[in-house]
Structure 1
Amino acid sequence: MFVVHGSKVTSSPLRMFASVVVAMLGLCHCSNHNGTFLRTPELSGPSEALGNTVAVFECKLLPHPENETVLMTLFNRGSTDTWLGDSTSLAGEAAIFNLVVKPSHAGDLVCQARAQNNSNIKPTFSNTHYLKVFEPVSSASVSIMSFTTIFEGEDLYLSCTADGNNVSFTWLQNDQPISSPHVMSRDHSFWIDRTTQADSGTYVCEASNGTDFTTRSQEFNITVKGPRRVFEGEKLVLFCPIDGINMSFTWLLNYQPISSPHVLFSDRLLWINRTTQADSGTYVCEASISLKGIDYVSRSWNVNVIVKAVVSDPDISFAVLTEDSHYFSVGVTCQSAVGTPPVAFSLYNGTESVANVTSADRRAVFRVPVVFGEHLGTFRCQANNGAKTASSGWLPIKIEKVKGPVSLTYDYDIAENFAVVGVRLYCKVAAGSHLRYQWFLNKSLLQDHGSFYYVFNQLPEQSILILSVGRSSAGTYHCVVSNSFDNTTTISSRGRYLDKEVLNRLPVLVVAVVFGCFIFLILLVVICCGFGVIYSKIYWRREYGDKFLLEMERRVVAYEGELDVSEYSDGADVLRTVGDGFDQASDASSDEWPQIARQKKTIEDEPIEVPLGFK
């Protein structure tokens, strides 16, 4: 029974029509369920693929429609769908796509399923599958946009390029990934801001795009030197690396404008003809330009400059070093008073090089084995800090153990009253080097100085003990000598007793010698005087005595008739007296001989006066 528009339909033909309609609707429903709809296919395959390689993709449709052949089509969905391949599924098997990958295949891939022989069945599409296509990476190379040898504080710029897509770059220093915080990189575009010497080494770039294929650039060396170093008096030239048109340049030293009169500028150049240590510091170049009323300033990297002092001629000395009781060595010290470190020292024995060392404090010590009693050689130091080589003098080295005997002598100072007020004791040893002297008073060791004494060492020849004579200084003195590097051998002098009375008492031998010498001098003077008198008499008689006697004889004969010599028995004595008088006259000097001659003439011309008693 049907009700149409609120009315009952009760006729039997209408019931039959309704039954037919219901049956047809059921048939239509069954037909759509069995062949007019397809499920969503599933697409699978690699998400990454290397160009020019085969990638396999699979598309499945489950459940498969009965009695239908399904055509599977692979598309690259971009701005327009690009066909990549077809595959037919007859009974529900998966469609296989063997794709030779090209760069154009990269993107979103989809699989379409449609009934091949039934246009009434609507096609369906799979989920989107993204494919990344990699081209093989090759020909990695590095461009250096700065010098391979730079100084500390300067920047290092590097760039790496390679053939391929989706390339990432890795930088290695000495085969290790670079992780320094002052290293910056972006894409392939790498640089180090304000390099240090630690940035020296071998650099290489590795290019990769996530596959097993990685390409490596050639290796190259970067040398980062310490601060730029020049020596006093040398020329310094700096170049501003900033390039441009109509730029003005300003140079800064320690971030202050340079105003020194001996620094010259010319555009991008700075030069100093003769540097001094005041020119050391950090140099920066600033380039400025004005455009449309706006000033633009660009600053270069820092350049550290050190003006070094040239090393001076080193001093050379040596000391004996004790390793143990049986082994000794010589420490040869080389030291320069002036010069900017580091300084390289070399030790030579004659022309033979012994050793080399670099010092950070202008001083080096070299060890030389010791052979006692033998001459080790003549040594010389050389020093160099990059400018010129400085040399020391030659130093002969011989190490000898102490050998006796030890002598002890003294001398003294006296005051105006001839009293001894000071004494100097001298201690010497027969042989030995690097000697150590020790003084003792009554077996008590004396230090370097005291209230009445002072020790003065004239090494290695001797040691002097200077004493002030007094009550405290009285006693027995002796000295002991040993090697400063070895206490096993000591040699002592004999003791000497000193006090004020002993020093001021003249020894018997000295008195005997003095008086003996005095007597000898007196005897010598007497003998000399006697010989002088005898010689003068002999000489006078030889020159004048014979003539005078002849004349006297003639005069006597002339007056014999007048004189009665018998009455005066002492006449001969008178003649002898006269003769003696002339003998005394012989002592006259050569200036008196004319006077004697005149006297002789008077005697010849005038008569002789007869003494009283003669008639």
Structure 2
Amino acid sequence: MFVVHGSKVTSSPLRMFASVVVAMLGLCHCSNHNGTFLGTPELSGPSEALENTVAVFECKLLPHPENETVLMTLLNRGSTDTWLGDSTSLAGEAATFNLVVKPSHAGALVCQARAQNNSNIKPTFSNTHDLKVFEPVSSASVSIMSSTTIFEGKELYLFCTTDGNNVSFTWLQNDQPISSPHVMSSDPFLWIYRTTQADSGTYVCEASNSFNGTDFTTRSQEVNVTVKEPRMVVFEGEELRLVCPADGINMSFTWLLNDQPISSPHVWFSDRFLWINSTTQADSGNYVCEASISFRGIDYVSRSWEINVTVKAVVSDPDISFAVLMEDSHNFSVGVTCQSAVGTPPVDFSLYNGTGLVANVTSADRRAVFRVPVVFGEHLRKFRCQANNGAKTASSGWLPIKIEKVKGPVSLTYDYDIAENFAVVGVRLYCKVAAGSHLRYQWFLNKSLLQDHGSFYYVFNQLPEQSILILSVGRSSAGTYHCVVSNSFDNTTTISSRGRHLDKEVLNRLPVLVVAVVFGCFIFLILLVGTCCGFGVIYRRREYGDKFLLEMERRVVAYEGELDVSEYSDGADALRTVGDGFDQASDASSDE
């Protein structure tokens, strides 16, 4: 029996066994030295090699056995031994291996020595020789592990891949090394765990390595990253729902709008939820929620990221108008203007004709102008506008576009105002043309152009029907007036009216024709009354005969008596008596 104490073994029989083993090993060594044992080979060569270059390795066996041919084999030791080459040593010379280096050659290399013609001799192996195969970088690429358009507070994760080894990586933002404290980069990885708008920009990865003082560097493609402010867009009348990201037990929540507590009666709160049933533009702004909890008398408050809410006004139905634009003497175009009075920009405007879409454009001021080429003299189709800023599509009415060159004649007429003394105090001149569109009227006094208004006149245009010149009659307004009409887009054709002379005396003088008509009418009335009276006398005479003549005589006598009363004041009683007798005689005659 023997007893083991720790690492020491105490037994005299065991000492005897060890001595026997040593003696046997000595005998074996002596016998192998005599030609039955191969020594340990020595492998030498470079520890680093460039890919696709030739690396030379040597393997020596000392001492070399007499009268034996030794086969030297170069192996790569991994999970299994991989053969790399063979070389034969006949008389103790070193075996040489010329190896075209590949990435798979990297690792632990060994040299095996084996008696080529004697299988009784056991093979031996050299110590391992580590080889690093250097691959120069030639290309790099950035893989995007997250979205390149993100909101503030979200993470950005990029990964750089390359085809080299022993590579070091450098990350650049806008061609500058990244040094932000909230950026974590490790070898090929870039991780921004809490982005801000300052992290927007162009990102590039540079991969580099070096080999025997030669540097190799490659640059990846650019990756454009946009970090947006957290934003939500709703339209007036729509609802708004927000949720505070914090969650926990016995937490209280406070909502802030532009850093002020929200106290509007149309805002509803429930735990970590905020709800506005019908939004208005007053609800626009930056919303923040604060979550708080109290623990052992200490209040802990956590504040969320801001989210910007924009309440947009829905775009109104656009107005549509057009103007003719002259490119040169032969080419014209139409500028169609679409404009909405209400609506939060930007607004997308579209122009349609009777067959479909003509053009569209995005406007920052609720107004867009479309240029449509036209051929002069042709009638265009009807046009209409549509506007949209993200809610519903608003439309204008159809606008017919007609371009017509001015054609005569030009008429000039007037009327006037009369004061209480029947004197003319004001005149209105009317200028009209037979045909034309986009008309321009010009007034002239004694061949001098009149502006829009002066001391005694005012120009009032009722386009396209006519133009009115309003005058105050006086010494300054006397003269000859005429108007000229042309197209507003083309000055090559103008048509003038005839001149008309106006002054105070002319306006207040009755025309000869008027006087003749008035007097003619008066004479005609006199003749008509006289004729009627004559026909009346003739008719009554035929109807009543002598009785009518007697009645006429009585009326004449009575009339003459009435005239004599005023002349004879002394014989009034006698006259009255005569009258009475006349009446009695008339009565008696009547009785008979």
In the superposition, the TM-score normalised over structure 2's length comes to 0.63
> Could you tell me how far 1:567 is from its partner in structure 2?
35
- Of 165-174 and 519-528, deviating more is 165-174
Indicate how the Cα distance of structure 1 residues 37 and 317 shifts in structure 2: closer, same or farther if over 3 A, else same. same
User: For residue 48 of structure 2, what is the aligned residue in structure 1?
Assistant: 48
What is residue 194 of structure 2 aligned with on the other side?
194
Q: CA deviation at 1:384?
A: 0.8
- The alpha-carbon deviation at position 315 of structure 1 amounts to 0.9
Per the alignment, do residues 505 and 389 of structure 1 end up closer, same or farther by CA in structure 2, a change over 3 Å counting? same
Partner of 2:218: 215
- Deviations for 1:35-93, whole angstroms, at most 9, x for unmatched residues? 99999999655657999999996567999999999999999999999999999988774
Is 292-301 or 275-284 further displaced after alignment? 292-301
Cα deviation per residue 1:236-267 (whole Å; 9 max; x = unaligned)? Answer: 22233445555544444334444434333334
Give the aligned CA root-mean-square deviation in angstroms. Answer: 13.2
Secondary structure of residue in 2 paired with 1:589: helix
> What CA distance in whole angstroms lies between the structure 1 residues aligned with 2:314 and 2:293?
41
| 2:443–2:481 contact (8 Å) kept in structure 1 | yes
In the alignment, is the contact (CA less than 8 A) between 2:565 and 2:572 conserved in 1? no
Cα 1:188–1:466 change in 2 (3 A) is same
Residues 344 and 26 of structure 1, relative CA distance in 2, 3 Å threshold: closer
- SS of the residue corresponding to residue 299 of structure 2 reads strand
Find the aligned partners of 1:41 and 1:492 in 2 and give their Cα distance: 122
Helix, strand or coil at the partner of 2:275? strand
Report SS of the residue matched to 1:213: strand
CA 1:317 to 1:6, structure 2 compared with 1: closer, same or farther past 3 Å? closer
- Return the offset for 1:425: 1.0
Instruction: Output the CA distance in 1 between the equivalents of 2:7 and 2:470.
Output: 162
CA deviations on 1:411-450 (whole Å, 9 max, x unpaired) are 1111111111111111111111111111111111111111
Q: Would you say the 8 A contact 1:155–1:301 is kept in 2?
A: no
Q: Does the 8 A contact of 2:74 with 2:110 survive in 1?
A: yes
Find the aligned partners of 1:294 and 1:44 in 2 and give their Cα distance.
Answer: 71
Counterpart CA distance in 2 for 1:187 and 1:7 is 47
**Contact 1:161 1:188 (8 Å CA) reproduced:** yes
Call closer, same or farther: CA 1:439–1:84 in 2, change over 3 Å.
Answer: closer
Q: For the residues of structure 1 that align with 2:587 and 2:338, how far apart are their CA atoms?
A: 81
Distance (whole Å) between structure 2 residues aligned to residue 393 and residue 588 of structure 1:
99
Q: Tell me how far apart the structure 2 counterparts of residues 3 and 182 of structure 1 sit (CA, whole Å).
A: 64
Specify the SS of the correspondent of 1:373: coil
What is the rounded CA distance, in whole Å, between the counterparts of 2:530 and 2:140 in structure 1?
124
Do 2:2 and 2:11's aligned partners in 1 also have CA atoms closer than 8 Å? no
What is residue 267 of structure 2 aligned with on the other side? 263
Say if 1:204 and 1:219, in contact at 8 Å, map to a contact too: yes
Shift of 1:231: 0.6
Structure 2 distance, partners of 1:521, 1:204, is 111
Q: Which moved more, 1:263-272 or 1:214-223?
A: 214-223
Paired residue secondary structure (2:62):
coil
Decide which moves more: 155-164 or 252-261.
Answer: 155-164
Conserved? CA contact 1:145–1:159, under 8 Å: yes
Q: Please tell me whether the aligned partners of residues 74 and 84 of structure 1 are also in contact (alpha carbons under 8 angstroms).
A: yes
1:6-44 deviations in Å (ceiling 9; x for gaps)? 999999999999999999999999999999999999965
TM-score, normalised to structure 1, is 0.61
1:584 aligns with 2:584: yes
For structure 2, which runs of at least 5 residues remain unmatched after alignment? none
- Is 1:231–1:310's contact at 8 Å kept on the other side of the alignment? yes
Output the CA distance in 2 between the equivalents of 1:491 and 1:15: 142
**Equivalences for 1:372-391 in 2 at 5 Å?**
372-391=376-395
Q: Which deviates further from its counterpart, 360-369 or 155-164? A: 155-164
Q: Report the 3-state secondary structure (helix = DSSP H, G, I; strand = E; otherwise coil) of the residue aligned with 2:561.
A: coil
| 2:40–2:124 CA contact under 8 A, matched in 1 | yes
Deviations along 1:86-136, one digit per CA (max 9) or x if unpaired, are: 999887744679999999999999999999999999999999976569999
Which deviates further from its counterpart, 448-457 or 219-228?
219-228
Distance 1:313 1:246, change over 3 A: same
> 1:151–1:510: structure 2 CA closer, same or farther, 3 Å change rule?
farther
Distance 2:77 2:61 in 1: 20
| C-alpha deviation, 1:298, in angstroms | 4.6
1:278 CA drift (Å): 2.3
Compared CA separation, residues 194 and 517, structure 1 to 2 (3 A) = farther
CA, structure 1 residues 113+320, in 2 after alignment: closer, same or farther (shift >3 Å)?
Answer: same
- Does the 8 Å CA contact 1:57/1:97 hold for their aligned counterparts? yes
Which of the pair has more CA radius of gyration? 1
Deviation at 1:167, TM superposition (A): 9.6
Deviation at 1:313, TM superposition (A): 1.1
Q: 1:381-418 CA distances to partner (integer Å, 9 max, x unpaired)? A: 11111111111222221111111111111111111111
Of 446-455 and 132-141, more deviation after overlay is shown by 132-141
Report how many aligned residue pairs link the two structures.
Answer: 585
User: SS of 1:66's equivalent?
Assistant: coil
Q: Is this contact kept in 2: 1:152–1:303, CA < 8 A?
A: no
Change (3 A) 1:552 1:445: closer
Q: Distance in 1 between matches of 2:243 and 2:134?
A: 46
For the structure 1 residues 249 and 92, does the alpha-carbon distance in structure 2 shift closer, same or farther, using more than 3 Å as the test?
farther
Does the 8 Å contact 2:253/2:272 carry over to 1? Answer: yes
Relative to structure 1, the CA distance from residue 206 to residue 472 in structure 2 (aligned partners, 3 Å threshold; closer, same or farther) is closer
Q: Deviations over 1:320-361 (max 9, x none)?
A: 111111101111100011111111112222363322222121
Pair 350,516 (structure 1): closer, same or farther in 2 beyond 3 Å: farther
Q: Output the CA distance in 2 between the equivalents of 1:395 and 1:28.
A: 116
| Range with greater deviation from structure 2 (308-317 or 288-297) | 288-297
Q: Which has the higher mean CA deviation after the structures are superposed, 262-271 or 14-23?
A: 14-23
Are the counterparts in 1 of residues 410 and 432 from structure 2 also a CA contact under 8 Å?
Answer: yes
Distance 1:100 1:154, change over 3 A: same
Counterparts of 1:571 and 1:4 in 2: how far apart (Å)? 201
